[in-house]
Structure 1
């Protein structure tokens, strides 16, 4: 066997990490082809080569699936992972070391005194493997490869579908593209999905957190955004216009850290909203005030859907702009200058409808298409530029704030009360407690955001239509297969290895957890599912 012993697993993770697959790089494009060749070494895939497949995820990226199918089984566990990693700018000129875990570990031992006490101890202990992707999350993929190999060698009476995707760290394009393939693979092979098993690592909940966590759900993330379009003027006559920055400042004060979106489930709370990006869309410097500013906000969810969030958000924007208007008029009165107008608040859906009525659908489609094809803009920038351009065709509406959604959107999912998940939770506690003296803690909403968001979507929910209607790039450069997701109704759980400092210079993987404990635990989970 290739990936069975602790040493073989360590060699495998070092190999996977050496295949640089940072999001948006050439390495991300090449990774699934290298992985396909690696999996093809197994005897099972020599006789079933058609059970490994690549799936287009856009922009020359590919997801990969590898099916182990038992002739007497319909029950299927989907083993989910992502192979892209964040970038390595923090390594500076030594970025090559990020992909050589053993060499990096030796280097960190040499400079251990430069680190915090906790990391100094770990670097000198030899108990951790450092490197980009060791923790987040190539070890999860390695563990799934181990399960596939062992299942095939021992003829486990269950089906396993390994699915690993690109782009999780940015927009989850890989997972969103793979959802439809999950449905067709099930139909083609007579599979019955009984569990989605992700193996994202155990994330700390606070600095130097020693606890091991597993997850029975994944938190949601959505980005309500706004385009502020004021009235430009020369800085020498500021009240002859209305500065978009002035308008935006009122909403920022109300949105940042607001509790109106807050949720609490199982004693866990959603983090408070923050602004993720704020930018002036005036391209040059001049003595003219800016009349267009965009801002994107991060909101976490548990039970709320897109419609719930947008309704609250749009109302908050309306109330905030009323406050802005009131203060602005008081200043105009003080300075004896008439206001330039009254601030309107419109949803993107209403703005779109307004333009269609005024100019026709073809003209509106042309406006959108002008930005869709621009490679110099990402989906967030395209969204705000589209709204901005639309307003230039209806200046009678300004001053104006347009509320909209910017990608990405991760719906919250939770299977905490599912009977199978409850039994796996009990197994995990018993296994780790008896054999290793570890007291694992169940987290009901994984706070690291994950691709689990795109399975098991509430089949009775249609709030996603609000997202569709208020996302300018919807159906062109960004979409979510909500209807297909609603068909993937199986419980989910996330069990992965212990590590520390994801996305940091000192990202590291606990060797015993990764190479000894978690492989045995995941094998126990799979065998448990055979009988339940």
Structure 2
């Protein structure tokens, strides 16, 4: 019998607590160091001691790295990719307990002294003794820990299937880690002549409502895109308001049409995307007080996807913007008529792509490139701010186009992915449900689109080039600080599946992990799933 480092529930729990203790908040030094610590940990596995070159880094920017660890079987080309992320969100909401946020055992004990601070559901779970609290316990270092235990066992027992453990930074922000890893997966596939059979993610089971006790598995992942707008009005002094038109006035018409707009809703497999909402709406002014009216504003909207491409979303966005612009123009002209003044113009709707071409014809490509580069060099702005600021600087140099709504996309973009109708996924779903019910008495429910956004969006891309070309052309930071490897994503042809631990309250102070689910049930179910796909005798059901 091979002695495994993480072969028992107790040892796996200790591994998780160690991984959690490696604080890896997004865009911190801990996120940078995590990949190196993980590599050292993986090198403790005998297979990787003998094959250290099977562990690789993939540059995700800002000194961060995605990590792949490749167990190669000599018997087959069939390969499963085990996907996780290791970054976490911040911990300020823990308040006086923040110093323990990354110490699950200690935090869980200390919460016994703070019961009066916990909501009823969290208090009930704490008192049950069945949950482990802490940042990253649920979302999602348990997935990584289980994958590490699986690849250790597979390499020790020489399972006749190839496994690629892939864990990435930055999932919580822009998925830079997964986007960087995609070309690496393609290179690995080509170098070793691998046949990718499944992309298996380990994201946790997310509740569908506050009191939802169900444990879910997922055969797809919902998409997300952010149609945005730069609003450009006409400046004036507050003492002469009718000499201009404020961007805030124009923006109010667009948001009233966009918020909760059912035209963006999609339904499939009896599941429905949440309605769109605004994530940001504010004017662009200097920080100091001024009596100049705000004539530039920015808006970002969150839209979820199932089947639609970026091109289709932009078509709906343009129709919505044109409706809003017409309503705004009509209302504004009526006010001007009432006040006996001439309007400064009708409200136009312009694609960012059109604005850039206009600016290049007017100013020259070199000047436009210089204006854009100046925005890109501002390290205090993220990709969303840069996108809107690029549109802003071009409009300030092409003011004759105003008043206008400039339509664009702001990062990130997560294409939807779904494998519910794939024959392998249908088999795995039924097998996993049966194993959970028979072995543990746990009923698993299938959801067709993982509703928490995941890195599965960047594999098995099924869209058309038209869909992504519209995104490229209307994302101002495309090709500089942000890009998506669409061509390589198309090469990663294999179904997707998500099987992770049960937990509650991801991104909250009460984030917690169900202990049996994480350390007993999940390792068994993942192993059973992998053996379903290989010639190894499945674990007893």
- Tell me which residue corresponds to 1:397: 401
Q: Determine helix, strand or coil for the equivalent of 1:462.
A: helix
Distance 1:356 1:110 in 2: 64
- Tell me which residue corresponds to 1:12: 15
The answer to whether 1:480 aligns with 2:480 is no
Distance 2:29 2:281 in 1: 30
Length, aligned pairs only: 532
TM-superposed CA distance for 1:531, in Å, is: 4.5
TM-superposed CA distance for 1:19, in Å, is: 0.2
Work out whether residues 97 and 107 of structure 2, in 8 Å CA contact, stay in contact via their aligned partners in 1. Answer: no
- Once the two structures are superposed, what CA deviation does each residue of 1:177-214 show, in whole Å capped at 9, x if it has no partner? 11000000111122111000001000000002100000
Which residue, 374, 381, 384 being the options, matches 1:377? 381
Question: What's the TM-score once normalised by structure 2's chain length?
Answer: 0.97
- Tell me which residue corresponds to 1:116: 119
TM-superposed CA distance for 1:364, in Å, is: 1.2
Distance 1:172 1:235 in 2: 43
Distance 1:94 1:39 in 2: 31
- Once the two structures are superposed, what CA deviation does each residue of 1:368-404 show, in whole Å capped at 9, x if it has no partner? 1011121100000001110000011111111111000
- Tell me which residue corresponds to 1:386: 390
Q: Determine helix, strand or coil for the equivalent of 1:260.
A: helix
- Tell me which residue corresponds to 1:320: 324
Superposition RMSD on alpha carbons, in Å? 1.0
Distance 2:118 2:291 in 1: 47
- Once the two structures are superposed, what CA deviation does each residue of 1:4-48 show, in whole Å capped at 9, x if it has no partner? 101001100000000000001000000010000001001111111
- Once the two structures are superposed, what CA deviation does each residue of 1:55-99 show, in whole Å capped at 9, x if it has no partner? 111111000000111111210000000000000010124322101
- Once the two structures are superposed, what CA deviation does each residue of 1:413-450 show, in whole Å capped at 9, x if it has no partner? 00000011000001011111112222211000000000
- Tell me which residue corresponds to 1:413: 417
Which residue, 179, 184, 206 being the options, matches 1:181? 184
- Tell me which residue corresponds to 1:440: 444
Which residue, 305, 316, 338 being the options, matches 1:334? 338
The answer to whether 1:260 aligns with 2:254 is no
Matches within 5 A, 1:417-496: 417-458=421-462, 460-496=464-500
The answer to whether 1:366 aligns with 2:370 is yes
- Tell me which residue corresponds to 2:36: 33
Work out whether residues 112 and 124 of structure 1, in 8 Å CA contact, stay in contact via their aligned partners in 2. Answer: no
Distance 1:241 1:462 in 2: 39
- Once the two structures are superposed, what CA deviation does each residue of 1:469-488 show, in whole Å capped at 9, x if it has no partner? 00000000000000110111
Work out whether residues 81 and 200 of structure 1, in 8 Å CA contact, stay in contact via their aligned partners in 2. Answer: yes
The answer to whether 1:231 aligns with 2:210 is no
Work out whether residues 273 and 306 of structure 2, in 8 Å CA contact, stay in contact via their aligned partners in 1. Answer: yes
* Stretches of structure 1 lacking an aligned partner (at least 5 in a row): none
Distance 2:39 2:490 in 1: 29
- Once the two structures are superposed, what CA deviation does each residue of 1:205-233 show, in whole Å capped at 9, x if it has no partner? 00021000000000000000000011111
Distance 1:510 1:94 in 2: 21
Work out whether residues 18 and 99 of structure 1, in 8 Å CA contact, stay in contact via their aligned partners in 2. Answer: yes
Which residue, 155, 167, 171 being the options, matches 2:170? 167
Work out whether residues 137 and 512 of structure 2, in 8 Å CA contact, stay in contact via their aligned partners in 1. Answer: yes
Distance 1:462 1:187 in 2: 27
Q: 1:292 to 1:272 in 2, by over 3 A?
A: same
Distance 1:288 1:442 in 2: 55
Work out whether residues 160 and 535 of structure 2, in 8 Å CA contact, stay in contact via their aligned partners in 1. Answer: no
